[in-house]
Structure 1
Amino acid sequence: MHRSTRDIRLAEALVETADTLVDGFEAVHYLPRVADHCVRLLAARAAGFMLIDEDGTVSLTASGTHREVALDLLRAQRGGGPCLDSYSSGRPVPPVSIGAARAAARWPEFTERALAHDIAGTFAVPLRRHERLLGALNVFVATLPPETASPDDAASDDGTELRLAQLIADCAALGLQNHTAYVQCRTLAGQLQQALSSRVRIEQAKGMLAERWNTPADHAFVALRQYARRHQLPLDRVAQAVIDRVADDAELRRGARGGDDGGRA
Protein backbone atom coordinates (compact mmCIF):
# COMPACT_ATOMS: atom_id res chain seq x y z
CA MET A 1 0.00 0.00 0.00
CA HIS A 2 1.37 3.38 -0.99
CA ARG A 3 2.11 5.72 1.90
CA SER A 4 2.65 9.41 1.32
CA THR A 5 5.46 11.41 2.85
CA ARG A 6 2.87 13.07 5.05
CA ASP A 7 1.71 9.71 6.45
CA ILE A 8 5.27 8.82 7.34
CA ARG A 9 5.85 12.22 8.94
CA LEU A 10 2.70 11.82 11.00
CA ALA A 11 3.79 8.38 12.22
CA GLU A 12 7.21 9.77 13.17
CA ALA A 13 5.59 12.69 14.98
CA LEU A 14 3.29 10.45 17.02
CA VAL A 15 6.11 8.10 17.99
CA GLU A 16 8.34 10.95 19.15
CA THR A 17 5.46 12.66 20.93
CA ALA A 18 4.68 9.47 22.88
CA ASP A 19 8.31 8.93 23.93
CA THR A 20 8.26 10.61 27.36
CA LEU A 21 8.96 7.74 29.79
CA VAL A 22 12.60 8.72 30.14
CA ASP A 23 14.81 10.39 32.71
CA GLY A 24 15.91 13.92 31.89
CA PHE A 25 12.65 14.75 30.15
CA GLU A 26 11.88 18.49 29.99
CA ALA A 27 8.67 19.94 28.60
CA VAL A 28 10.59 23.06 27.55
CA HIS A 29 12.46 20.94 24.98
CA TYR A 30 9.69 18.44 24.25
CA LEU A 31 6.88 20.79 23.22
CA PRO A 32 8.92 22.81 20.68
CA ARG A 33 9.70 19.54 18.88
CA VAL A 34 6.00 18.68 18.82
CA ALA A 35 5.25 22.17 17.49
CA ASP A 36 7.85 21.66 14.74
CA HIS A 37 6.04 18.50 13.69
CA CYS A 38 2.84 20.56 13.44
CA VAL A 39 4.55 23.09 11.19
CA ARG A 40 5.77 20.40 8.82
CA LEU A 41 2.56 18.35 8.78
CA LEU A 42 0.15 21.27 8.49
CA ALA A 43 2.14 23.47 6.10
CA ALA A 44 2.10 26.17 8.77
CA ARG A 45 4.24 29.24 9.26
CA ALA A 46 4.63 28.57 12.98
CA ALA A 47 2.94 26.83 15.92
CA GLY A 48 3.01 27.10 19.68
CA PHE A 49 1.61 25.83 22.93
CA MET A 50 0.00 27.79 25.73
CA LEU A 51 0.14 25.76 28.95
CA ILE A 52 -2.05 26.78 31.86
CA ASP A 53 -1.44 25.25 35.30
CA GLU A 54 -4.17 24.56 37.82
CA ASP A 55 -3.18 27.76 39.67
CA GLY A 56 -3.59 29.78 36.47
CA THR A 57 0.11 30.16 35.70
CA VAL A 58 0.64 30.51 31.93
CA SER A 59 3.73 29.30 30.09
CA LEU A 60 4.42 29.59 26.38
CA THR A 61 6.52 27.46 24.06
CA ALA A 62 6.88 27.59 20.31
CA SER A 63 8.23 25.82 17.27
CA GLY A 64 11.83 26.38 16.30
CA THR A 65 10.49 27.52 12.91
CA HIS A 66 9.63 31.23 13.25
CA ARG A 67 9.83 30.87 17.02
CA GLU A 68 9.73 34.59 17.79
CA VAL A 69 6.66 35.04 15.58
CA ALA A 70 4.81 32.27 17.41
CA LEU A 71 5.80 33.58 20.84
CA ASP A 72 4.75 37.12 19.93
CA LEU A 73 1.35 35.87 18.77
CA LEU A 74 0.88 33.79 21.90
CA ARG A 75 1.75 36.77 24.11
CA ALA A 76 -0.69 38.93 22.15
CA GLN A 77 -3.55 36.77 23.39
CA ARG A 78 -3.65 38.26 26.87
CA GLY A 79 -6.89 39.99 25.96
CA GLY A 80 -8.27 37.12 23.92
CA GLY A 81 -7.31 34.82 21.10
CA PRO A 82 -7.74 31.34 19.66
CA CYS A 83 -5.71 29.66 22.42
CA LEU A 84 -7.77 31.15 25.23
CA ASP A 85 -11.01 30.45 23.39
CA SER A 86 -10.06 26.81 22.87
CA TYR A 87 -8.88 26.39 26.46
CA SER A 88 -11.97 28.07 27.89
CA SER A 89 -14.42 26.01 25.86
CA GLY A 90 -12.44 22.78 25.72
CA ARG A 91 -13.19 22.63 21.98
CA PRO A 92 -11.23 23.39 18.80
CA VAL A 93 -11.33 26.83 17.23
CA PRO A 94 -11.73 26.09 13.49
CA PRO A 95 -9.56 27.90 10.93
CA VAL A 96 -10.17 31.66 11.05
CA SER A 97 -9.16 34.28 8.51
CA ILE A 98 -7.14 36.95 10.29
CA GLY A 99 -8.56 39.62 7.98
CA ALA A 100 -12.13 38.53 8.71
CA ALA A 101 -11.44 38.36 12.45
CA ARG A 102 -10.02 41.87 12.38
CA ALA A 103 -13.00 43.21 10.44
CA ALA A 104 -15.30 41.67 13.05
CA ALA A 105 -13.24 43.21 15.87
CA ARG A 106 -12.43 39.73 17.15
CA TRP A 107 -9.22 39.51 19.20
CA PRO A 108 -8.02 43.07 18.30
CA GLU A 109 -4.51 42.87 19.74
CA PHE A 110 -3.90 39.39 18.41
CA THR A 111 -5.13 40.12 14.88
CA GLU A 112 -3.01 43.28 14.65
CA ARG A 113 0.11 41.33 15.56
CA ALA A 114 -0.83 38.47 13.20
CA LEU A 115 -1.22 40.85 10.25
CA ALA A 116 2.11 42.45 11.12
CA HIS A 117 3.70 38.99 10.79
CA ASP A 118 1.89 38.25 7.50
CA ILE A 119 -0.23 35.52 9.08
CA ALA A 120 -3.28 34.78 6.96
CA GLY A 121 -5.13 32.39 9.23
CA THR A 122 -5.05 30.50 12.50
CA PHE A 123 -6.71 27.69 14.37
CA ALA A 124 -6.35 26.15 17.81
CA VAL A 125 -7.13 22.89 19.57
CA PRO A 126 -7.26 22.09 23.28
CA LEU A 127 -4.39 20.25 24.94
CA ARG A 128 -6.27 17.83 27.14
CA ARG A 129 -6.26 14.37 28.64
CA HIS A 130 -9.80 13.11 29.22
CA GLU A 131 -11.49 15.90 31.21
CA ARG A 132 -8.30 17.64 32.30
CA LEU A 133 -7.31 20.68 30.26
CA LEU A 134 -3.61 21.51 30.14
CA GLY A 135 -3.70 24.36 27.64
CA ALA A 136 -4.00 24.72 23.87
CA LEU A 137 -2.06 24.29 20.64
CA ASN A 138 -2.16 27.23 18.22
CA VAL A 139 -1.26 26.93 14.53
CA PHE A 140 -0.48 29.96 12.37
CA VAL A 141 -0.68 29.71 8.58
CA ALA A 142 0.39 32.02 5.76
CA THR A 143 -0.70 32.00 2.12
CA LEU A 144 2.03 30.35 0.06
CA PRO A 145 2.52 30.65 -3.72
CA PRO A 146 1.32 27.37 -5.31
CA GLU A 147 4.71 26.62 -6.76
CA THR A 148 6.31 26.49 -3.29
CA ALA A 149 4.00 23.83 -1.92
CA SER A 150 4.48 20.16 -2.74
CA PRO A 151 1.48 17.79 -2.86
CA ASP A 152 2.66 16.15 0.35
CA ASP A 153 2.78 19.46 2.20
CA ALA A 154 -0.33 21.06 0.84
CA ALA A 155 -3.39 21.18 3.08
CA SER A 156 -6.14 18.87 1.89
CA ASP A 157 -9.00 20.56 3.67
CA ASP A 158 -9.66 22.57 6.80
CA GLY A 159 -11.40 19.71 8.59
CA THR A 160 -8.48 17.37 8.05
CA GLU A 161 -5.95 19.93 9.26
CA LEU A 162 -7.94 20.57 12.42
CA ARG A 163 -8.28 16.86 13.14
CA LEU A 164 -4.56 16.33 12.60
CA ALA A 165 -3.76 19.18 14.98
CA GLN A 166 -6.09 17.71 17.59
CA LEU A 167 -4.50 14.27 17.17
CA ILE A 168 -1.04 15.70 17.78
CA ALA A 169 -2.26 17.76 20.75
CA ASP A 170 -3.96 14.71 22.28
CA CYS A 171 -0.78 12.69 21.87
CA ALA A 172 1.27 15.51 23.46
CA ALA A 173 -1.14 15.68 26.41
CA LEU A 174 -0.85 11.92 26.84
CA GLY A 175 2.93 12.20 26.73
CA LEU A 176 2.95 14.92 29.40
CA GLN A 177 0.57 13.00 31.65
CA ASN A 178 2.50 9.77 31.22
CA HIS A 179 5.74 11.48 32.18
CA THR A 180 4.10 12.95 35.29
CA ALA A 181 2.91 9.47 36.29
CA TYR A 182 6.37 8.08 35.51
CA VAL A 183 8.07 10.63 37.78
CA GLN A 184 5.58 9.94 40.58
CA CYS A 185 6.16 6.19 40.32
CA ARG A 186 9.93 6.62 40.29
CA THR A 187 9.76 8.91 43.32
CA LEU A 188 7.52 6.49 45.23
CA ALA A 189 9.75 3.55 44.32
CA GLY A 190 12.78 5.47 45.57
CA GLN A 191 11.05 6.32 48.84
CA LEU A 192 10.00 2.70 49.36
CA GLN A 193 13.50 1.45 48.59
CA GLN A 194 14.95 3.97 51.02
CA ALA A 195 12.51 2.90 53.73
CA LEU A 196 13.27 -0.78 53.11
CA SER A 197 17.02 -0.18 53.21
CA SER A 198 16.63 1.79 56.44
CA ARG A 199 14.61 -1.04 57.98
CA VAL A 200 17.23 -3.58 56.98
CA ARG A 201 20.02 -1.50 58.55
CA ILE A 202 18.08 -1.10 61.79
CA GLU A 203 17.34 -4.82 62.00
CA GLN A 204 20.97 -5.66 61.28
CA ALA A 205 22.26 -3.24 63.95
CA LYS A 206 19.70 -4.52 66.46
CA GLY A 207 20.84 -8.08 65.88
CA MET A 208 24.51 -7.17 66.17
CA LEU A 209 23.97 -5.41 69.51
CA ALA A 210 21.78 -8.19 70.88
CA GLU A 211 24.45 -10.75 70.07
CA ARG A 212 27.31 -8.57 71.32
CA TRP A 213 25.60 -7.76 74.63
CA ASN A 214 23.81 -11.09 75.02
CA THR A 215 20.54 -9.22 75.50
CA PRO A 216 17.07 -9.50 73.94
CA ALA A 217 16.66 -7.82 70.58
CA ASP A 218 13.98 -5.54 72.02
CA HIS A 219 16.48 -4.15 74.53
CA ALA A 220 19.00 -3.55 71.76
CA PHE A 221 16.39 -1.65 69.77
CA VAL A 222 15.55 0.51 72.79
CA ALA A 223 19.25 1.32 73.13
CA LEU A 224 19.42 2.37 69.48
CA ARG A 225 16.33 4.53 69.76
CA GLN A 226 17.35 6.25 73.00
CA TYR A 227 20.80 6.96 71.60
CA ALA A 228 19.24 8.50 68.50
CA ARG A 229 16.95 10.66 70.62
CA ARG A 230 19.71 11.84 72.95
CA HIS A 231 21.90 12.86 70.06
CA GLN A 232 19.05 13.99 67.78
CA LEU A 233 20.11 11.65 65.00
CA PRO A 234 18.05 9.61 62.52
CA LEU A 235 17.65 6.05 63.74
CA ASP A 236 19.02 4.49 60.56
CA ARG A 237 22.12 6.70 60.81
CA VAL A 238 22.80 5.32 64.28
CA ALA A 239 22.18 1.82 62.94
CA GLN A 240 24.73 2.40 60.17
CA ALA A 241 27.28 3.57 62.75
CA VAL A 242 26.73 0.33 64.65
CA ILE A 243 27.17 -1.72 61.49
CA ASP A 244 30.36 0.20 60.66
CA ARG A 245 31.54 -0.35 64.28
CA VAL A 246 32.13 3.36 64.86
CA ALA A 247 29.34 3.95 67.40
CA ASP A 248 30.25 4.54 71.07
CA ASP A 249 29.36 1.19 72.61
CA ALA A 250 29.32 2.45 76.19
CA GLU A 251 27.05 5.36 75.25
CA LEU A 252 24.75 2.95 73.41
CA ARG A 253 24.47 0.59 76.39
CA ARG A 254 23.12 3.40 78.55
CA GLY A 255 19.76 2.73 76.96
CA ALA A 256 19.98 -1.05 76.81
CA ARG A 257 18.05 -1.52 80.05
CA GLY A 258 15.34 0.12 81.96
CA GLY A 259 12.53 2.51 81.64
CA ASP A 260 11.71 2.74 77.91
CA ASP A 261 8.49 1.47 76.42
CA GLY A 262 10.34 -1.41 74.70
CA GLY A 263 8.69 -0.63 71.32
CA ARG A 264 9.55 -2.77 68.39
CA ALA A 265 11.09 -1.70 65.06
Structure 2
Amino acid sequence: MTLSPDAASFADLVLDLHETSSLDETVERIIEFACKMFDCAYAGVILVHPGSRVETVASNHEVVAHLDKIQLEAGAGPDIEIIADRPGVLVRDVRQEQRWPQWTAAVEAAGIRSMLGARLHTNRQVLGSLNLYALEVDRFDEVDVDVAHMLARHAAVALESARGTEHLRGAVDARNLIGQAQGILMERFNIGADQAFQVLRRYSQDNNLKLHSVAQRLIDTRSLPR
Protein backbone atom coordinates (compact mmCIF):
# COMPACT_ATOMS: atom_id res chain seq x y z
CA MET A 1 0.00 0.00 0.00
CA THR A 2 1.29 3.45 -0.94
CA LEU A 3 0.68 6.44 1.29
CA SER A 4 -0.89 9.56 -0.18
CA PRO A 5 1.43 12.59 -0.45
CA ASP A 6 -0.35 14.28 2.49
CA ALA A 7 -0.14 11.18 4.69
CA ALA A 8 3.52 10.65 3.84
CA SER A 9 4.26 14.31 4.55
CA PHE A 10 2.46 14.10 7.89
CA ALA A 11 4.43 10.99 8.85
CA ASP A 12 7.70 12.70 7.95
CA LEU A 13 6.77 15.71 10.07
CA VAL A 14 6.01 13.57 13.11
CA LEU A 15 9.40 11.89 12.86
CA ASP A 16 11.12 15.23 12.30
CA LEU A 17 9.43 16.83 15.30
CA HIS A 18 10.44 14.06 17.66
CA GLU A 19 14.04 14.26 16.45
CA THR A 20 14.24 18.02 17.05
CA SER A 21 15.51 18.93 20.51
CA SER A 22 15.42 22.75 20.36
CA LEU A 23 12.15 24.37 21.43
CA ASP A 24 12.52 27.21 18.91
CA GLU A 25 13.25 24.83 16.07
CA THR A 26 10.32 22.61 17.03
CA VAL A 27 7.90 25.55 17.00
CA GLU A 28 9.20 26.80 13.67
CA ARG A 29 8.77 23.36 12.10
CA ILE A 30 5.20 23.15 13.40
CA ILE A 31 4.29 26.51 11.86
CA GLU A 32 6.03 25.73 8.58
CA PHE A 33 4.23 22.42 8.20
CA ALA A 34 0.84 23.80 9.30
CA CYS A 35 0.92 26.56 6.67
CA LYS A 36 1.84 24.04 4.01
CA MET A 37 -0.68 21.38 5.00
CA PHE A 38 -3.67 23.71 5.45
CA ASP A 39 -2.66 26.18 2.75
CA CYS A 40 -3.38 29.10 5.07
CA ALA A 41 -1.96 32.60 5.13
CA TYR A 42 -0.81 32.79 8.73
CA ALA A 43 -0.01 30.48 11.61
CA GLY A 44 1.18 30.95 15.16
CA VAL A 45 1.85 29.07 18.37
CA ILE A 46 0.90 30.30 21.83
CA LEU A 47 2.58 28.68 24.84
CA VAL A 48 1.64 28.78 28.51
CA HIS A 49 4.67 29.43 30.71
CA PRO A 50 5.06 28.79 34.45
CA GLY A 51 2.88 31.13 36.45
CA SER A 52 0.17 30.95 33.76
CA ARG A 53 1.95 33.55 31.64
CA VAL A 54 0.77 33.24 28.03
CA GLU A 55 2.96 34.24 25.09
CA THR A 56 2.98 34.03 21.29
CA VAL A 57 6.32 32.29 20.90
CA ALA A 58 6.39 32.11 17.10
CA SER A 59 4.40 33.03 14.01
CA ASN A 60 4.97 33.55 10.31
CA HIS A 61 3.62 37.11 10.40
CA GLU A 62 3.46 39.91 12.97
CA VAL A 63 -0.33 40.15 12.59
CA VAL A 64 -0.68 36.88 14.51
CA ALA A 65 1.02 38.25 17.61
CA HIS A 66 -1.09 41.41 17.28
CA LEU A 67 -4.34 39.42 17.27
CA ASP A 68 -3.15 37.28 20.16
CA LYS A 69 -2.33 40.39 22.17
CA ILE A 70 -5.87 41.71 21.65
CA GLN A 71 -7.26 38.47 23.06
CA LEU A 72 -4.97 38.50 26.06
CA GLU A 73 -5.71 42.12 26.89
CA ALA A 74 -9.47 41.62 26.53
CA GLY A 75 -9.42 38.27 28.28
CA ALA A 76 -11.64 36.88 25.52
CA GLY A 77 -11.03 35.09 22.23
CA PRO A 78 -10.70 31.65 20.67
CA ASP A 79 -7.18 31.04 21.97
CA ILE A 80 -8.23 31.91 25.52
CA GLU A 81 -11.03 29.35 25.35
CA ILE A 82 -8.82 26.72 23.72
CA ILE A 83 -6.20 27.00 26.45
CA ALA A 84 -8.87 26.99 29.16
CA ASP A 85 -10.98 23.99 28.28
CA ARG A 86 -11.74 23.56 24.57
CA PRO A 87 -10.02 21.13 22.16
CA GLY A 88 -10.34 23.60 19.31
CA VAL A 89 -12.23 26.42 17.64
CA LEU A 90 -13.42 26.76 14.03
CA VAL A 91 -14.46 30.18 12.69
CA ARG A 92 -15.76 29.73 9.17
CA ASP A 93 -16.54 33.40 8.55
CA VAL A 94 -15.32 36.17 10.84
CA ARG A 95 -18.16 38.45 9.75
CA GLN A 96 -20.71 35.92 10.98
CA GLU A 97 -18.95 35.25 14.29
CA GLN A 98 -20.87 36.66 17.27
CA ARG A 99 -18.40 35.75 19.99
CA TRP A 100 -15.41 37.89 20.94
CA PRO A 101 -16.43 41.11 19.10
CA GLN A 102 -13.21 42.97 19.89
CA TRP A 103 -11.10 40.16 18.45
CA THR A 104 -13.28 39.56 15.38
CA ALA A 105 -13.20 43.26 14.50
CA ALA A 106 -9.40 43.22 14.55
CA VAL A 107 -9.27 39.99 12.56
CA GLU A 108 -11.54 41.38 9.84
CA ALA A 109 -9.56 44.61 9.75
CA ALA A 110 -6.44 42.53 9.05
CA GLY A 111 -8.12 40.99 6.01
CA ILE A 112 -8.59 37.59 7.63
CA ARG A 113 -11.88 35.80 7.08
CA SER A 114 -11.56 32.36 8.73
CA MET A 115 -9.63 30.75 11.58
CA LEU A 116 -8.87 27.33 13.03
CA GLY A 117 -7.31 26.75 16.43
CA ALA A 118 -6.26 23.51 18.13
CA ARG A 119 -5.25 22.86 21.72
CA LEU A 120 -1.65 21.83 22.38
CA HIS A 121 -1.81 19.43 25.29
CA THR A 122 -0.53 16.11 26.56
CA ASN A 123 -1.87 13.83 29.29
CA ARG A 124 0.20 15.84 31.78
CA GLN A 125 -0.37 19.47 30.87
CA VAL A 126 -1.78 22.13 28.57
CA LEU A 127 1.02 23.75 26.62
CA GLY A 128 -0.92 26.29 24.54
CA SER A 129 -2.58 26.46 21.13
CA LEU A 130 -1.83 26.18 17.43
CA ASN A 131 -3.69 28.84 15.43
CA LEU A 132 -4.28 29.04 11.68
CA TYR A 133 -5.67 32.01 9.74
CA ALA A 134 -6.92 32.27 6.14
CA LEU A 135 -7.90 35.19 3.93
CA GLU A 136 -10.86 33.27 2.49
CA VAL A 137 -14.23 32.36 3.99
CA ASP A 138 -14.65 28.65 4.78
CA ARG A 139 -11.02 27.81 4.20
CA PHE A 140 -11.25 25.23 7.01
CA ASP A 141 -13.81 22.45 7.43
CA GLU A 142 -14.54 19.59 9.85
CA VAL A 143 -11.89 17.40 8.25
CA ASP A 144 -9.32 20.13 8.88
CA VAL A 145 -10.47 20.25 12.50
CA ASP A 146 -9.62 16.55 12.90
CA VAL A 147 -6.28 16.89 11.12
CA ALA A 148 -5.36 19.95 13.17
CA HIS A 149 -6.21 18.03 16.33
CA MET A 150 -3.87 15.17 15.32
CA LEU A 151 -1.12 17.60 14.41
CA ALA A 152 -1.55 19.46 17.70
CA ARG A 153 -1.30 16.24 19.72
CA HIS A 154 1.97 15.23 18.06
CA ALA A 155 3.25 18.81 18.27
CA ALA A 156 2.44 18.98 22.00
CA VAL A 157 4.42 15.84 22.76
CA ALA A 158 7.38 17.20 20.79
CA LEU A 159 7.14 20.60 22.49
CA GLU A 160 6.95 19.03 25.94
CA SER A 161 10.05 16.98 25.18
CA ALA A 162 11.95 19.97 23.76
CA ARG A 163 10.99 22.13 26.75
CA GLY A 164 12.20 19.43 29.13
CA THR A 165 15.48 19.14 27.25
CA GLU A 166 16.04 22.90 27.44
CA HIS A 167 15.28 22.94 31.16
CA LEU A 168 17.81 20.14 31.66
CA ARG A 169 20.42 22.01 29.64
CA GLY A 170 19.71 25.15 31.65
CA ALA A 171 20.18 23.25 34.91
CA VAL A 172 23.48 21.80 33.70
CA ASP A 173 24.69 25.23 32.56
CA ALA A 174 23.74 26.78 35.90
CA ARG A 175 25.55 24.03 37.78
CA ASN A 176 28.66 24.61 35.66
CA LEU A 177 28.54 28.36 36.36
CA ILE A 178 28.27 27.77 40.08
CA GLY A 179 31.20 25.35 39.93
CA GLN A 180 33.37 27.92 38.15
CA ALA A 181 32.43 30.60 40.66
CA GLN A 182 33.23 28.27 43.54
CA GLY A 183 36.66 27.67 42.01
CA ILE A 184 37.34 31.39 41.83
CA LEU A 185 36.43 31.90 45.49
CA MET A 186 38.40 28.83 46.61
CA GLU A 187 41.54 30.07 44.88
CA ARG A 188 41.16 33.70 45.96
CA PHE A 189 40.39 33.07 49.63
CA ASN A 190 41.92 29.64 50.12
CA ILE A 191 38.63 28.11 51.27
CA GLY A 192 36.92 24.80 50.61
CA ALA A 193 34.15 24.05 48.12
CA ASP A 194 31.43 24.02 50.79
CA GLN A 195 32.51 27.40 52.15
CA ALA A 196 32.63 28.86 48.65
CA PHE A 197 29.10 27.63 47.97
CA GLN A 198 27.86 29.18 51.23
CA VAL A 199 29.36 32.53 50.21
CA LEU A 200 27.55 32.39 46.86
CA ARG A 201 24.30 31.41 48.51
CA ARG A 202 24.55 34.23 51.07
CA TYR A 203 25.12 36.81 48.33
CA SER A 204 22.21 35.29 46.41
CA GLN A 205 19.86 35.65 49.37
CA ASP A 206 21.07 39.08 50.47
CA ASN A 207 20.73 40.57 46.98
CA ASN A 208 17.60 38.67 45.95
CA LEU A 209 19.36 37.19 42.92
CA LYS A 210 19.33 33.72 41.44
CA LEU A 211 22.35 31.69 42.51
CA HIS A 212 23.47 31.21 38.90
CA SER A 213 23.19 35.00 38.32
CA VAL A 214 25.56 35.65 41.23
CA ALA A 215 27.93 33.03 39.82
CA GLN A 216 27.80 34.61 36.36
CA ARG A 217 28.51 38.05 37.86
CA LEU A 218 31.54 36.70 39.72
CA ILE A 219 32.88 34.98 36.59
CA ASP A 220 32.38 38.06 34.40
CA THR A 221 33.61 40.75 36.80
CA ARG A 222 35.63 38.81 39.34
CA SER A 223 33.58 40.55 42.04
CA LEU A 224 30.35 39.89 43.91
CA PRO A 225 27.37 42.25 44.30
CA ARG A 226 27.95 44.72 47.14
- Tell me how many residue pairs correspond in the alignment: 183
2:70 is the counterpart of 1:76:
yes
Q: Amino acid of the residue matched to residue 160 of structure 1? A: V
Q: Give the whole-Å Cα distance in 2 for the aligned partners of 1:113 and 1:190.
A: 43
Partner of 1:233: 192
2:157 is the counterpart of 1:174:
yes
Q: Give the whole-Å Cα distance in 1 for the aligned partners of 2:173 and 2:147.
A: 39
Partner of 1:124: 117
Paired residue secondary structure (1:87)? helix
Distance 1:127 1:4, change over 3 A: same
Cα contact 2:31–2:43 (8 A) shared by 1:
yes
Structure with the higher fraction of residues in helix conformation: 2
Displacement of 1:92: 1.4
Distance 1:182 1:142, change over 3 A: same
Identical aligned residues as a percent: 20
Q: Could you tell me which of 65, 85, 90 is aligned with 1:89? A: 85
Cα contact 2:46–2:57 (8 A) shared by 1:
yes
Q: Could you tell me which of 37, 42, 60 is aligned with 2:38? A: 42
Distance 1:232 1:90, change over 3 A: farther
Paired residue secondary structure (2:16)? helix
Partner of 2:142: 159
In the alignment, structure 2 segments of 5+ residues that lack a partner are: 176-186, 197-226
Partner of 1:16: 16
Paired residue secondary structure (1:60)? strand
2:92 is the counterpart of 1:133:
no
Paired residue secondary structure (1:162)? helix
Matches within 5 A, 1:176-195: 176-183=159-166
Q: Deviations over 1:144-192 (max 9, x none)?
A: 8xxxxxxxxxx7x722211211222211211122234445666889999
Displacement of 1:44: 1.2
Q: Give the whole-Å Cα distance in 2 for the aligned partners of 1:134 and 1:94.
A: 19
Distance 1:176 1:18, change over 3 A: same
User: Structure 2 length normalisation: TM-score?
Assistant: 0.68
Partner of 1:57: 53
Q: Could you tell me which of 98, 123, 127 is aligned with 2:94? A: 98
Paired residue secondary structure (2:45)? strand
Cα contact 1:32–1:61 (8 A) shared by 2:
no
Q: Give the whole-Å Cα distance in 1 for the aligned partners of 2:25 and 2:77.
A: 24
Partner of 1:5: 5
Q: Which has the larger radius of gyration?
A: 1
Cα contact 2:118–2:148 (8 A) shared by 1:
yes
